[in-house]
Amino acid sequence: KSGFVSIIGRPNVGKSTFLNRVIGQKIAIMSDKPQTTRNKIQGVYTTESTQIIFIDTPGIHKPKHKLGDFMMKVAQNALKEVDLILFMVNAEEGFGRGDAFIIERLKEVKTPVFLVVNKIDQVHPDELLPLIEHYQSQYPFAEIVPISALQGNNVETLIEQIKKYL
Ligand code: GDP
Ligand code: MG
C-alpha cells in the first residue's frame, strides 16, 4: 500500500514531533505515484508492505493577512490531491480560532480527514471526551485518534488506521 497524507494543524500542536517519531531513521524510498511539486514532502514512512508519504500543505493555516484567491486555491487543491488529511489538534489548548479556520477549509474538500488529538499526556481523560465531542460537532471526521506524539501513545494505532485509507 502506498499513498499521500497531508498533516495540517495550528503551530505547536506537535506535527514535527509526530513525524520525527514515525519516520525515525527509516530510509525514504520514493513512489512513482504522481506528486505535485508545490507540496513539500516532510518524510516517508516505509515498511515492506507500506509507504506513507507525509506532505505539508502551505497556506492552509490561518494567515495574518488575507491570502490572495490564488494562494487559497493552491492550498485547497493540495488537500484534494492527497489520499488522507490528518488534522492535528492540541488537547492541552483545546479548540481555537485557528482550528475553526482550518475546519472551514476542510468543508470544501472531499478527502477523508482524521482528527488527531495530540498531547493527551497533558490532560485528564475526563477532559478529553468533551473536547473530542466539540470537534466532532464541527466536522464529520473519518476517524478520531488521541495520541501523544512525544511519548508515543497510540501512534502505532494511528499508522494502522492510516493504512486503511491508502
Ligand atoms: P508543530 O509546530 O506542530 O510542528 O509542533 P512541534 O512538533 O514543534 O511541537 C511543539 C511543542 O510541543 C514541542 O515543544 C514538543 O515537544 C511539544 N509536543 C509535541 N507533542 C507532544 C505531546 O504529545 N505531548 C507533550 N506534552 N508535548 C508535545
Ligand atoms: Mg513543525
Residues in the chain: 166
Q: Where are the domains of the chain?
A: 2-163
For the segment 152-164, what is each residue's pLDDT rounded down to a tens digit?
999 999 999 999 9
CB–CB of 115/158 below 8 Å? no
Tell me the average pLDDT of the chain: 86
- What is the assigned CATH class of domain 2-163? alpha beta
**Ligand 2 center to 14 CA (angstroms):** 7
C-alpha pair distances (Å), 39 with each of 20, 98, 151: 18, 21, 28
Q: Is the pLDDT of residue 55 over 90?
A: no
**Ligand 2 center to 131 CA (angstroms):** 23
Place of cell 518524510: 43
Strand order in the sheet with 84-90: 40-46, 51-56, 2-8, 84-90, 113-118, 143-146
Pocket of ligand 1 (CB under 6 A): 9, 11-17, 118-119, 121-122, 148-150
- Out of 2-16, 50-64, 144-158, least confident range: 50-64
pTM of the model: 0.89
Mutate to test the pocket of ligand 1, among 21, 150, 158 (most ligand atoms within 8 A of CB): 150
Q: Is the pLDDT of residue 33 over 70?
A: no
Is 15 annotated as a binding-site member? yes
Q: Is the pLDDT of residue 32 over 90?
A: no
For the segment 64-106, what is each residue's pLDDT rounded down to a tens digit?
666 667 767 777 777 888 999 999 999 999 999 889 989 999 9
Q: Is the pLDDT of residue 24 over 50?
A: yes
Based on its alpha-carbon atoms, the radius of gyration of the chain, rounded to whole angstroms, reads 15
Is 3 annotated as a binding-site member? no
Q: Is the pLDDT of residue 31 over 60?
A: no
ipTM above 0.95, yes or no: yes
- Which is the closest atom of ligand 1 to the Cα of 151? 23
Question: What pLDDT is attached to residue 26?
Answer: 47
Question: What pLDDT is attached to residue 59?
Answer: 65
